[in-house]
Structure 1
Amino acid sequence: MGERTASAAELHRRAVAAYVAAGGEESVQRVITAVQGLSRRLDQWYAHQLADLETTPGEWAVVAALAKDGGSLTPSQLAELTNVAPSSMTHRLDKLAERGFVDRTPDEENRTRILVRLTADGWEFFSLAIRGSDVVESDVLQDLDDDERGELARLLEIVIARLDDIEA
């Protein structure tokens, strides 16, 4: 007879138990292990979504950075924001320009610099991807009401702020 595959909840309990046995505080390990598991599962789903959209995670990082900025960024700024070498950024921008998602124009104030911005097609692509993600993300959170979602977001924002404080 074959062994049954452990559920996500069982894997979570085992991981927490291992970390606690090694000296970790149970309440801390429950939270951190849950956040890591959620992140890993969402990353897997996002990877499938990007493959369906015929986009690499690196290209998506550029589109998302430009959308979040809302304006124009230099290739160097994009490379820094997405943690890649400038040569890799050039390749990503070439691919995105071929698809009509970005355009590059000389900076009016400094003609030696190039500015990159999303085109109308780039914004439409960003919107399409976000709407697709929102369906899955809403399903993941469906058992929480609006107040609980707000509280979860508030608590996670506190944790993120603490990480920012530690890094500073």
Structure 2
Amino acid sequence: MQRVITAVQSLTKKLDQWYARQLADLDVTSGDWAVVTSLAKAGEPLTPSQLADLTMVAPSSMTHRLDKLAGRGLIERTPDSENRTRTYVSLTADGWELFSLAIRGSSVVETDVLQDLSDTERGELARMLEVVIARLDDVEA
């Protein structure tokens, strides 16, 4: 059992390090990336409060992140036409390009990391990890 946990922890650490380097190459922090991916996954504009909830940060921290991302031209803020106190945030074309670059880069590495496994082995590994994750979710509930 300990061997499995140690292997998963080692894999997680190595992947985290690789992803951190990839984001650094794109001049993006993990916090910025959380905002970009949240917007991309939502597929529609979100409020700063929604983004703060999704990324589990304080609203003041989200404001700082959004200011930084807007300054780089990666997001835009649009006032709500029905509620002047509400603002919506969406990715710009440059934000979508950054998202695409990062996803393409991670796909290449993930494919390379798993190249020694057959498709069947990859599927089985994914299935087994999903079982463990589901069990952990049950324990947390």
**TM-score, structure 2 normalization:** 0.91
Q: Give yes or no for the alignment of 1:41 onto 2:14.
A: yes
How far, CA to CA, are the matches of 1:153 and 1:99 in structure 2?
Answer: 37
User: Measured at CA, do residues 166 and 94 of structure 1 come closer, stay the same or move farther in structure 2, by a change above 3 Å?
Assistant: same
How far, CA to CA, are the matches of 2:11 and 2:45 in structure 1?
Answer: 32
Q: Secondary structure at the match of 1:72?
A: coil
Q: CA deviation at 1:109?
A: 4.9
Q: CA deviation at 1:97?
A: 0.9
Residue 61 of structure 1: aligned partner: 34
Q: Cα RMSD over matched residues?
A: 1.5
Higher relative CO (Cα under 8 Å, sequence separation at least 6) belongs to: 2
CA shift digits 1:125-146 (9 cap, x unpaired): 1010111111111111011111
- Return 87-96 or 106-115, whichever deviates more: 106-115
Residue 29 of structure 1: aligned partner: 2
Q: Give yes or no for the alignment of 1:73 onto 2:46.
A: yes
How far, CA to CA, are the matches of 2:82 and 2:136 in structure 1?
Answer: 37
- Residues 141-152 of structure 1 correspond to what in structure 2 (within 5 A)? 141-152=114-125
Unaligned runs of 5+ in 1: 1-27
- Choose 1 or 2 for highest CA Rg: 1
Correspondent of 1:85 among 39, 58, 64: 58
User: Measured at CA, do residues 79 and 154 of structure 1 come closer, stay the same or move farther in structure 2, by a change above 3 Å?
Assistant: same
- Return 124-133 or 64-73, whichever deviates more: 64-73
**TM-score, structure 1 normalization:** 0.77
Alignment-mate amino acid for residue 84 of structure 1: V
Q: Secondary structure at the match of 2:15?
A: helix
User: Measured at CA, do residues 101 and 30 of structure 1 come closer, stay the same or move farther in structure 2, by a change above 3 Å?
Assistant: same
Q: CA deviation at 1:53?
A: 0.7
Q: CA deviation at 1:150?
A: 1.5
Q: Secondary structure at the match of 1:55?
A: coil
Q: CA deviation at 1:165?
A: 2.0
